[in-house]
Amino acid sequence: MNLRGIGYIGLDVPNRQEWDRFATTVVGLEQVARPAGDDDASYFKADDRSWRIAARESNTPGIGFIGFEVNDRASFDDAVRILETAGAAPKAAAETELAERGVQAMVWFEDPAGTRLEIFWGPTVDGAFRSPLGEPGFVTEGGFGHAVLMVQDLPAALEFYTSVLGMRTSDFMNFGEGMAIHFLRCTPRHHSIALSAVGPVSGTHHIALEVADVDQVGTALDRATEAGLAITASLGRHKNDRMLSFYMRSPAGFEVEIGCDPVLVDEETWITNEFTGGDAWGHHGLTSESLAESVAGNAS
């Protein structure tokens, strides 16, 4: 299966008005009109696509769905056949769902942890991104950011994402017996999905958005601090993907990472490594214990 990265993400948030304010005044996304008939969600642009993030109210915060894109109809049909052969039971989107997503075709199914995944082709491009903060657009080459999911059965999740969806392991970290995080790619972006097991918790740890440069990271950090948000991991640089970033606790409970300057994977030369010893510098507060505490807090 030849996935081209995350095309869009649907979020479940406890208070949509708080999320909308956070998304526009701190992150700098552009809120746009809802598709006809969908009055239950807020939609946000990050580039020239009609939308990249949708947020619906829910008592359980986290990712509601992740949409992976493929190049064209032929690639879509191939993906559906692979899912059917693997027993993933893909379901065709209803016409109302296609209108909400703004795509030509879509199927949905669940990963072993129960996260709803979607594969689609033909997204709508409707014009320039206009941040309410005057910021440049977000970097969406190789897909829209990444998501980190906490799972209880890491081997089953890894088998599904690699053997069925065709993702490749960029690198991994072991935290202790039965505890690890694996970073998975499907484009030159270092990872679109990371899967982590740190105990009996499951859910969303964070989503990440990439910006153009360190100044955008810094101004976002200033806005988050001024808004009184908890900075859950200080400014720092990861060892593995080299992203310079910080993490903040969103009003929905899960975390949002804003970063820049990640490494791009060269398939001809890349070597999968196990990383140890934390980050290159900074990111104070980002530990395996904090991963588990964050998600467990959302589920309570």
| pLDDT tens profile 206-251 | 999 999 999 999 999 999 999 999 999 999 999 999 999 999 999 9
Considering the domain architecture, whether residues 80 and 174 belong to the same structural domain is answered as no
Average pLDDT rounded to a whole number, residues 35-40? 73
Question: Does residue 295 carry a pLDDT above 90?
Answer: no
> What is the model's pLDDT at position 84?
98
Question: Does residue 300 carry a pLDDT above 50?
Answer: no
Question: Does residue 297 carry a pLDDT above 70?
Answer: no
How confident is residue 294, by pLDDT bands cut at 50, 70 and 90? low
Phi, psi of 71 (to 5 degrees): -65, -40
Considering the domain architecture, whether residues 211 and 176 belong to the same structural domain is answered as yes
Beta-bridge partners for 73: none
Average pLDDT rounded to a whole number, residues 122-127? 94
Considering the domain architecture, whether residues 50 and 85 belong to the same structural domain is answered as yes
> What is the model's pLDDT at position 288?
63
How confident is residue 286, by pLDDT bands cut at 50, 70 and 90? confident
CA proximity to 146, closest of 76, 228, 204: 204
> What is the model's pLDDT at position 289?
66
Give 72 or 295, the one with higher predicted confidence: 72
Phi, psi of 263 (to 5 degrees): -70, 150
How confident is residue 69, by pLDDT bands cut at 50, 70 and 90? very high
Max Cα-Cα span within the chain: 51
Considering the domain architecture, whether residues 169 and 101 belong to the same structural domain is answered as no
Considering the domain architecture, whether residues 175 and 229 belong to the same structural domain is answered as yes
User: H or E stretch including 148?
Assistant: strand 146-150
CA distance linking residue 189 with residue 222, whole number of Å: 27
Residue 129 lies in a domain: no
Residue 213 lies in a domain: yes
> What is the model's pLDDT at position 200?
75
Phi, psi of 178 (to 5 degrees): 75, 10
CA distance linking residue 73 with residue 103, whole number of Å: 11
Residue 128 lies in a domain: no
| pLDDT averaged over every residue in the chain | 93
Listing DSSP states for 25-72 in one string gives III-PEEEPPPTT--SEEEEESSSBS-SEEEEE-SS-EEEEEEEE-SS
In this structure, which amino acid lies at residue 180? A
CA distance linking residue 300 with residue 192, whole number of Å: 27
Residue 87 CB neighbours (<10 A)? 8
Under DSSP, the state recorded for 17 is H
> What is the model's pLDDT at position 243?
96
Average pLDDT rounded to a whole number, residues 58-64? 93
Residue 54 near residue 28 (C-beta atoms within 8 A) = no
Considering the domain architecture, whether residues 102 and 156 belong to the same structural domain is answered as no
Q: What is the share, in percent, of the chain residues with pLDDT greater than 70?
A: 95
| Boundaries of domain holding 18 | 6-121
Phi-psi region of 247 (alpha: psi -120 to 50; beta: other; left: phi over 0): beta
Residue 295 CB neighbours (<10 A)? 27
Residue 102 lies in a domain: yes
Residue 275 near residue 239 (C-beta atoms within 8 A) = yes
Considering the domain architecture, whether residues 55 and 195 belong to the same structural domain is answered as no
Residue 234 lies in a domain: yes
User: H or E stretch including 79?
Assistant: helix 73-85
Residue 215 CB neighbours (<10 A)? 12
Phi, psi of 58 (to 5 degrees): -160, 150
User: Sheet of 146-150: strands edge to edge?
Assistant: 273-274, 168-176, 179-185, 193-197, 146-150, 203-210, 255-260, 244-249, 231-237, 281-282
Considering the domain architecture, whether residues 26 and 155 belong to the same structural domain is answered as no
How confident is residue 126, by pLDDT bands cut at 50, 70 and 90? very high
Q: Which of 62-71, 72-81, 238-247, 289-298 has the lowest mean pLDDT?
A: 289-298
CA distance linking residue 103 with residue 121, whole number of Å: 6
CA 128 from centre of chain: 22
Considering the domain architecture, whether residues 116 and 152 belong to the same structural domain is answered as no
The per-residue pLDDT for range 269-278, each reduced to its tens digit, is: 999 999 998 8
The per-residue pLDDT for range 130-146, each reduced to its tens digit, is: 999 998 889 999 999 99
> What is the model's pLDDT at position 12?
96
Contacts 24+ apart (CB under 8 A), 134-139: 135/28, 135/211, 135/216, 135/219, 136/211, 136/212, 136/216, 137/46, 137/47, 137/48, 137/212, 138/46, 138/47, 138/52, 138/209, 138/210, 138/211, 139/210, 139/211, 139/212, 139/260
Q: Please give the tally of structural domains in the chain.
A: 2
pTM: 0.94
Average pLDDT rounded to a whole number, residues 84-91? 97
Considering the domain architecture, whether residues 286 and 217 belong to the same structural domain is answered as yes
